[in-house]
A and B are shown apart, each in its own frame.
Chain A
Amino acid sequence: MELMQGAEHRALICSLVKAMRSEDSWAGETQIQKCVYFLQNLMAVPTGYEFILYKHGPYSFDLQRELAVMRARLQLDIEPRYNYGPSFTLGPRGELDIERVASHNSAIEFVAKKLSTKNVRSLERLSTVFFVQTENSDLDDNQVARRVNKLKPHIPIPTALEAVEEVNELRDMAS
């Protein structure tokens, strides 16, 4: 499948942020990063972003830059959130191109519904588990949990195992 280009990328993020907000998600940067990661790797939406294991799990610097560019293009805006980091909302030009990515609406809605309202701690566990599973398809659930604990020592093995179960359920639902 052909990878998305700039305008399609931006339309996808606008559409995702809109769906996240309608689920009452905070739509902070971490929520957007992890939702796009699942969109790409669980739902096979060809965003083409490169993710590495970094802040709270898989993280794309390209996506980070895209979010900044979209603020400058007035497609996204940020607003403060009591006691927490900023939320993304659609800017004055945010709705304009959303129809371009209508074919991915069901994938976007799935991710928004299942993941976008989770807190940062939970998203870090789930996305790191899924990252380890995706990169190492030969590992069983226990090995995945141990690898997650090695990469992120602040996630204990039992907690990582619970996250493995949750990700496996998500995979079943998505397939």
Chain B
Amino acid sequence: MVSLAVKQYHEIRDPIHDFVKLDSDERRVLDSGPVQRLRHVHQLAMSYLVYPGATHRRFEHSLGVMELAGKLFDTVTAADNIHDLPSDMVTEMRSDRRSYWRKVLRMAALCHDIGHLPFSHAAEKELLSDDWDHERFTVELIQGNELAEIWSSMKPPLAPEDVAKIAVGPEKMKNVSFSNWEALLSEIISGDTLGVDRMDYLLRDSHHAGVAYGRFDHHRLVDTVRVLPVSQESDEPTLGLESGGIHSAEALLLARYFMFMQVYYHHVRMAYDFHLRQFLQAWLPSGRFSTDTDQHQRLTDNEVLYEISQAAQDPLALGHEAAGRIVNRNHFRALYTQTRQDKAVYGDPLTAMFNACVGKYGESKVHKSEYTQQAPAPEFPVVGSEGQVKSSHAISGVLHQVPIVDVGVLLVDPEIDKEASRWLNSNRETILSRS
């Protein structure tokens, strides 16, 4: 009788990367409760009510981030791609350390989103205690019993703190010190321009929403990432590019701008986020999410959607009105959208419009929704064919011109939107001049 070896590698089909390959340890983590829960958390909250195809979940995004993290790690640690680096970093790239950190990185990528609340970012800021965010849940879960047991059973065992550090990065673990190498690995996941989290979500969200804005040549980008000194005036290593990848990076940054403007901060999605927060504030005990990790694990979009559908039918239920607005598509409508020109002339036109509308129609009929991108001016080192390192801004004529995403919308109850629109048109200049 022929005995077949137990399969050590597994493949999962994926619309963005064709196949995501994982080993048996990674599959155990994939099958754990915290990662499986992501099958029930929408990647783009209620954007599917605007873009019907955008029903994808954090689960497949996490697989995609793991796949890209492994590829990018292999690129930057390939012998031919290593430029002049400090000795501490070269030590970490040696074979035994290298395989340890590769595993840590892929696990961190797989787990980087396990702390997300129902509907991802839609209600996190307003409905969690001040000192909590989804990254803190992520750290707690990575170091919690279920996953700690898996980390410790691996050969060699992975330190839970290493996985947590790389998953959330130095900003979210302020009291823990990061070596240059650890900071660099966390940048592979969450780096602003060259991080794989962003690469995957732009490609995936674009694919599912059915819009072309988020596409860029990620194969070229991943192939050209290198570890470089930040610039010719610094020796600190960071993620940079070979000059051949600069146009792919430009395309990514433009893709980010378009996706934020067109998809993530679409005015109808902003209205649904508002109604979702209203419902959750009414329905959750004390109006906030629990910070208990067991309760966090039990609550997904599924439970919230069930409660929304029940509350929409029951006039006495908590959050009935907000639930009805979601279920019956009776959401607030956009009355005024802030423009760059209005900001330049009037300073804060959105607040002026909001205050005037509240004075006229009352607080319950009006909502102000705004978002300003808080990412730095995109800058990274680029190495040319002769080995000279320059800032990306010295190479690219595009990067410094990519606008900051800055969205502000005044939303009003559909009962008054037509009348309010007429009133606004008649009083626009008077209102704005008060700002």
Does A associate with B in a complex? Answer: yes
A114 / chain B contacts, CB cutoff of 8 Å:
none
Q: How far is the CA of A55 from the CA of B191 in the complex (A)?
A: 12
B180 within 8 A of A: yes
A79 / chain B contacts, CB cutoff of 8 Å:
400
Q: Is the CB of A29 within 8 A of B376?
A: yes
Q: Is the CB of B178 within 8 A of A54?
A: yes
Contact of B394 among A69, A80, A152 (CB under 8 A): A80
Interface size class of A (residues with CB under 8 A): 35 or more
Residue of B372, B375, B377, B391 contacting most chain A CB atoms (<10 Å):
B377
The A38-71 residues at the B interface (CB cut-off 8 A) are 50, 52-56, 61, 64-65, 67-69, 71
B121 to chain A, nearest CB (A): 15
Q: Is the CB of A65 within 8 A of B374?
A: yes
Q: A55-B238, A120-B231 are in contact. Are A71 and B404 (CB under 8 A)?
A: yes
Q: Is the CB of B238 within 8 A of A78?
A: no
B8 to chain A, nearest CB (A): 37
Decide if the interface of chain A is mainly helix, strand, loop or mixed.
mixed
Q: Is the CB of A55 within 8 A of B87?
A: no
Contact of A67 among B87, B376, B406 (CB under 8 A): B376
Q: Is the CB of B404 within 8 A of A72?
A: yes
Interface string of B235-247 (1 = CB under 8 A from A): 1111000000000
Q: A119-B233, A153-B180 are in contact. Are A78 and B377 (CB under 8 A)?
A: yes
A102 within 8 A of B: no
Q: Is the CB of A85 within 8 A of B177?
A: no
Q: Is the CB of B404 within 8 A of A85?
A: no
B377 / chain A contacts, CB cutoff of 8 Å:
29, 67-68, 71, 78, 85-86
Q: Is the CB of B234 within 8 A of A121?
A: yes
Q: A68-B373, A86-B379, A152-B180 are in contact. Are A120 and B393 (CB under 8 A)?
A: no
Q: Is the CB of B343 within 8 A of A73?
A: yes
B243 to chain A, nearest CB (A): 13
Contact of B235 among A50, A80, A86, A154 (CB under 8 A): A154
Q: A83-B390, A84-B391, A152-B180 are in contact. Are A120 and B234 (CB under 8 A)?
A: yes
Q: Is the CB of B394 within 8 A of A154?
A: no
Q: Is the CB of B88 within 8 A of A153?
A: yes
Contact of A54 among B170, B235, B374, B376 (CB under 8 A): B170
Q: How far is the CA of A173 from the CA of B301 in the complex (A)?
A: 59
A65 / chain B contacts, CB cutoff of 8 Å:
374
By beta carbon, the residue of chain B nearest A33 is: B376
B404 to chain A, nearest CB (A): 5
B347 / chain A contacts, CB cutoff of 8 Å:
93
A154 / chain B contacts, CB cutoff of 8 Å:
86, 180, 235-237
The A141-171 residues at the B interface (CB cut-off 8 A) are 151-155
A118 to chain B, nearest CB (A): 10
Q: How far is the CA of A154 from the CA of B85 in the complex (A)?
A: 9
Q: Is the CB of B170 within 8 A of A52?
A: yes
Q: How far is the CA of A66 from the CA of B233 in the complex (A)?
A: 25
Q: A124-B234, A153-B180 are in contact. Are A52 and B171 (CB under 8 A)?
A: yes
Q: Is the CB of B233 within 8 A of A50?
A: no
B195 to chain A, nearest CB (A): 14
Q: Is the CB of A153 within 8 A of B86?
A: yes
19 further A-B contacts with Cβ under 8 Å, apart from A52-B170, A54-B183, are: A29-B377, A53-B178, A54-B170, A54-B171, A56-B234, A56-B236, A68-B377, A72-B373, A73-B343, A79-B400, A80-B393, A83-B390, A85-B392, A86-B379, A119-B233, A120-B230, A120-B233, A154-B237, A155-B235
The 8 A-B pairs of least Cβ separation, nearest first, read A65-B374, A72-B406, A154-B235, A85-B391, A153-B88, A85-B379, A154-B86, A72-B404
B residues apposed to A, CB below 8 Å: 86-88, 170-171, 174, 177-178, 180, 183, 230-238, 343-344, 347, 372-377, 379, 390-394, 400, 404, 406
A residues apposed to B, CB below 8 Å: 29, 50, 52-56, 61, 64-65, 67-69, 71-74, 78-86, 92-93, 119-121, 124, 151-155
